[in-house]
């Protein structure tokens, strides 16, 4: 499925799901957080932490923060954009 975000980039949510499953699900399965349980990918938590937009999620995935490693350089910009859109979409659907 393709989704056009507020930056008008066409995101491929199916590709984003594949990136998520291969790189993120070990810690974030079901939108949870195995390392920092209070920092989930659930809609309300993303909103509380001002992470409820593609730009913020992309920055986090690219640069990492705290226990989360940086994926910039390991994933392409397109992969990061797709996974950011997938995470936001899933959070809005309740995972």
| Digit-coded pLDDT (tens) for 59-75 | 999 999 999 999 999 99
Give the domain 2-93 fold.
Cytochrome Bc1 Complex; Chain D, domain 2 (1.10.760)
Sequence ranges of the domains in the chain: 2-93
Burial category of 51 from C-beta neighbours within 10 Å (exposed 0-12, middle 13-18, buried 19 and up): buried
Identify the CA nearest to 53 among candidates 68, 38, 40, 43.
Answer: 43
The pTM (predicted TM-score) of the whole model is 0.89
The pLDDT tens digits of the residues spanning 75-92 come to 999 999 999 999 999 999
């Amino acid at each position: 499925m393709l989704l056009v975000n507020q930056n008008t980039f066409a995101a491929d949510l199916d590709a984003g799901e594949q990136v998520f499953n291969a790189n993120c699900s070990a810690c974030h399965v079901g939108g949870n957080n195995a390392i920092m349980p209070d920092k989930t990918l659930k809609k309300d938590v993303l909103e509380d932490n001002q992470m409820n937009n593609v730009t913020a999620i992309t920055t986090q995935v690219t640069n990492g923060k705290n226990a989360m490693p940086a994926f910039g350089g390991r994933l392409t910009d397109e992969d990061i954009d797709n996974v950011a859109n997938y995470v936001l979409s899933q959070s809005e659907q309740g995972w």
